[in-house]
Amino acid sequence: MTTFMDVHHGMVGITAEQLKEAHNADLAIEGEEGVHFEKAWADPVSGTVYCLSEAPSAEAVQRIHARSGHPASEIHPVALSI
Amino acid sequence: MTTFMDVHHGMVGITAEQLKEAHNADLAIEGEEGVHFEKAWADPVSGTVYCLSEAPSAEAVQRIHARSGHPASEIHPVALSI
């Protein structure tokens, strides 16, 4: 398993409720790909959303996000953390 | 206080030790600006580093990072999290 940070652009105006709904939609199906989304942060002004996950691959992260209706713009494995 | 996610580009090949040194350099002076860096994640392959902080302003975050020798490429206030 690898830790990933993925980034969504273009989500200007996202609300707390929409972030929660999007995150819950991921959580509902993440197990099918062996992914776990741990945390998400959103900047409604720039429309940027960051998601932290543990997953077997970037492709698995993207498949869950895509099925939930919000494919990521970037997915980076973050091998290091502190 | 606001939560910020900042992003550094161009740190290709960063090691765990270098990430720790950079983070510790921030921690050593962060109090002077009322900033607290909570966590950092790095992708040595793409050279991307993400830092999560609590701070009074994006400018305060940048002043600490700049004084530590690693100014951020982007700093986003993340008003929402889940």
Domain boundaries, chain A: 2-77
The pLDDT assigned to B71 comes to 97
The pLDDT of residue A79 is 97
Characterise B62 by phi-psi region: left (phi > 0), alpha (psi -120 to 50), beta (else): alpha
Chain A residues whose beta carbon lies within 8 Å of the beta carbon of residue B23: 82
Quick one: how far is CA B77 from the chain centroid? 12
Of A5, A19, A79, the CB nearest to B50: A5
For the stretch B69-72, contacts whose Cβ atoms lie closer than 8 Å and that sit 24 or more positions apart, written own/partner, are B69/B22, B69/B25, B70/B8, B70/B11, B70/B22, B72/B6, B72/B7, B72/B8
- State pTM to two decimals: 0.93
- Over residues B32-60, the pLDDT tens digits come to 999 999 999 999 999 999 999 999 999 99
Q: What is the predicted pLDDT for the residue at A49? A: 98
CB atoms A42 and B79 under 8 Å: yes
CB contact under 8 A, B20 and A82: yes
Model pLDDT for residues A20-46, shown as the tens digit of each residue: 999 999 999 999 999 999 999 999 999
CA pair distance B30, A27, nearest whole angstrom = 35
Looking at residue A8, its pLDDT comes to 97
The rounded distance, in Å, linking the Cα atoms of B77 and B5 is 6
- Please report the residues numbered 13 through 72 in chain A whose beta carbons come closer than 8 angstroms to any beta carbon of chain B: 14-16, 19-20, 23, 39-46, 48, 50, 52
Summary mean pLDDT of chain B: 98
Residue B65 has what pLDDT?
98
* pLDDT tens column, B27-37: 999 999 999 99
Contacts of B69 (CB under 8 A, 6+ apart): B22, B25
pLDDT at A10: 96
Class level of CATH domain B2-77: alpha beta
